[in-house]
Amino acid sequence: MSAHDQLVHCLCELTRNRNTRRARDDRPTVAFFHPYCNAGGGGERVLWCAVRALQNRYADINIVVYTGDIGVTSQQILDGARRRFNIVLPRPVHFVFLRHRLLVEPGLFPHFTLLGQSLGSIFLGWEALMEFVPDLYIDSMGYAFTLPLFRYFGGCSVGSYVHYPTISTDMLSVVRERNPRFNNPDYVSNSLFLSAFKLVYYCLFALLYGMAGSCSDLIMVNSSWTLDHILSLWRAPNRTSVVYPPCDVSAFLDIPLDDDGDRKCHSIVSVGQFRPEKDHRLQIRAFKKVLDRRRTGAGGREALKLVLIGGCRNQEDEDRVLMLRGLCQELGIADKVEFKLNIPFEELKREMGEATIGLHTMWNEHFGIGVVECMAAGKVILAHKSGGPKLDIVVPFEGGQTGFLAEDEDSYTEAIERILALPSASRLQLRRNARQSVARFSDQEFEACFLAAMEPLMGTLER
């Protein structure tokens, strides 16, 4: 059989599968493509809140989730959503388990990672499409190259919720200016030839990414920062809107806002998955500097500790935690740093309640759910001076300050010292401002905005 005949056969099979399913179910199906739906990060919280919102609004639809979490059962995934996010779905969902998630793992592509993962996502998307053809397809994890696949081969309406553009103009600037970053190693930034080659590669990839993304009938982005980049790359302003991600604001509101002036120990808490871009090394090094200054200065009366809370998705993340533990040993602060991995929601809440400062260090964080949660819990937030925290979250509220921003080791060190040196009454007022400001990121606000954005597409489904 020729390649053309094989393609025709596959298309006929897809059409037959869709028609058979529609005749059997007698109701439309909305499918979410989320290969890591059991990971426990902010993107997964968006997924489950979106599913819950659709189920609450539309009683006559089926929900399908494409996932690569083949090591767990459907019930274990749902139990994880309840345990980690305090989310219980009103009705069951159907999971389609994909066997080839390895194709989108960054470790499979040590070079040309963006291109490799994107090509891998096409094959993974094809597996998903052959397993189940929905009426409406939503990419909720940033695999834009699956959008034309489901639109043109599956005949589906397609939408996307973009947490972070796969490539951005900031990434192009980093390469163009030859700045070393976690995704631009020294051997590239130090070479004029390699930098020029990588810039051409990035520009070509950005063109392909824009073409794929523009296939989407509906585009939701999670922040003003992401909006700017997606508009410049996908060029579909009439189909694009900001839908802030749901933050479990209400779950932290019962943490008391007490005066912390008599605390014997101040803890600094960081909430975020153990991924390289979260830059936990910066947190540890800045914390070391603070400890050194407090030992030699007059501000060392209270004890101080750093608590790193986050999820580990795979062995690579676990190895990263081992390296971070090693860094703490090397700097002589292992007894001052605690690691809390994959902890349940109640333990997270307890740690947040005991903390004084919420710490965030990711450069160009697309949004920053952990930042919002720290503010809702009444912590003094110290976030990176870029991306969502700078543009959307740590901004003045009714004329009052809501937190602090920093961008390098020294500025983080100085900000932590400044926060600890504030009179407790001033800290308390700042914490009140922060808590009041984050109501716009609640689950209820997300559901209202998400359903409003989805309404045109939902109206096209046959019921």
What's the rounded mean pLDDT across residues 79-108?
Answer: 93
Confidence at 140, pLDDT banded by 50, 70, 90: very high
Instruction: Tell whether the model's pLDDT for residue 301 goes beyond 60.
Output: no
| Total tally of structural domains belonging to the chain | 2
Q: What is the pLDDT of residue 421?
A: 92
Instruction: Tell whether the model's pLDDT for residue 286 goes beyond 90.
Output: yes
Q: What is the pLDDT of residue 7?
A: 56
Confidence at 239, pLDDT banded by 50, 70, 90: very high
In a domain, 372, yes or no: yes
Q: What is the pLDDT of residue 300?
A: 53
What's the rounded mean pLDDT across residues 67-95?
Answer: 93
Q: What is the pLDDT of residue 2?
A: 61
Q: Are residues 422 and 451 in the same domain?
A: no
Confidence at 198, pLDDT banded by 50, 70, 90: confident
Q: Are residues 64 and 173 in the same domain?
A: yes
In a domain, 390, yes or no: yes
Question: For 319-348, what is each residue's pLDDT tens digit?
Answer: 999 999 999 999 999 999 999 998 888 899
Q: Are residues 90 and 104 in the same domain?
A: yes
How does the average pLDDT of the chain come out, rounded?
89
What's the rounded mean pLDDT across residues 221-226?
Answer: 94
Confidence at 187, pLDDT banded by 50, 70, 90: low
Instruction: Tell whether the model's pLDDT for residue 3 goes beyond 80.
Output: no
Q: Are residues 326 and 233 in the same domain?
A: no
Instruction: Tell whether the model's pLDDT for residue 434 goes beyond 80.
Output: yes
Q: Are residues 386 and 450 in the same domain?
A: no
Q: Are residues 69 and 212 in the same domain?
A: yes
Q: What is the pLDDT of residue 18?
A: 61
The CATH number given to whatever domain includes residue 389 is 3.40.50.2000
Q: What is the pLDDT of residue 57?
A: 96
Q: What is the pLDDT of residue 25?
A: 67
The fraction of the chain above a pLDDT of 90, given in percent, is 67
Question: For 146-174, what is each residue's pLDDT tens digit?
Answer: 999 999 999 999 999 999 899 887 777 77
Instruction: Tell whether the model's pLDDT for residue 31 goes beyond 90.
Output: yes
In a domain, 63, yes or no: yes
Out of 80-89, 219-228, 255-264, 352-361, pick the least confident.
255-264
Q: Are residues 274 and 373 in the same domain?
A: yes
Q: Between 461 and 162, whose confidence is greater?
A: 162
Instruction: Tell whether the model's pLDDT for residue 6 goes beyond 70.
Output: no
Q: Are residues 181 and 217 in the same domain?
A: yes
In a domain, 131, yes or no: yes
Instruction: Tell whether the model's pLDDT for residue 213 goes beyond 90.
Output: yes
Instruction: Tell whether the model's pLDDT for residue 4 goes beyond 70.
Output: no
Q: What is the pLDDT of residue 450?
A: 98
Q: Are residues 198 and 263 in the same domain?
A: no
In a domain, 28, yes or no: yes
Instruction: Tell whether the model's pLDDT for residue 20 goes beyond 90.
Output: no
Confidence at 199, pLDDT banded by 50, 70, 90: confident
Q: What is the pLDDT of residue 282?
A: 97
Confidence at 462, pLDDT banded by 50, 70, 90: low
pTM above the 0.85 mark? Answer: no
Instruction: Tell whether the model's pLDDT for residue 48 goes beyond 70.
Output: yes
Instruction: Tell whether the model's pLDDT for residue 350 goes beyond 60.
Output: yes
Q: Are residues 403 and 300 in the same domain?
A: yes
Instruction: Tell whether the model's pLDDT for residue 423 goes beyond 70.
Output: yes
C-alpha distances out from residue 388 to 269, 322, 351, Å? 19, 29, 24
What's the rounded mean pLDDT across residues 102-115?
Answer: 90
Range of the domain at 122: 3-246+444-458
Q: Are residues 154 and 272 in the same domain?
A: no
Q: Are residues 93 and 233 in the same domain?
A: yes
In a domain, 40, yes or no: yes
Q: What is the pLDDT of residue 185?
A: 67
Confidence at 281, pLDDT banded by 50, 70, 90: very high
Instruction: Tell whether the model's pLDDT for residue 66 goes beyond 70.
Output: yes
In a domain, 463, yes or no: no
Q: Between 113 and 25, whose confidence is greater?
A: 113
Q: What is the pLDDT of residue 419?
A: 96
In a domain, 263, yes or no: yes
Instruction: Tell whether the model's pLDDT for residue 115 goes beyond 90.
Output: yes
What's the rounded mean pLDDT across residues 399-404?
Answer: 94
Q: Between 301 and 422, whose confidence is greater?
A: 422
CA dihedral of 295, 296, 299, 300, whole degrees rounded to 10: 20
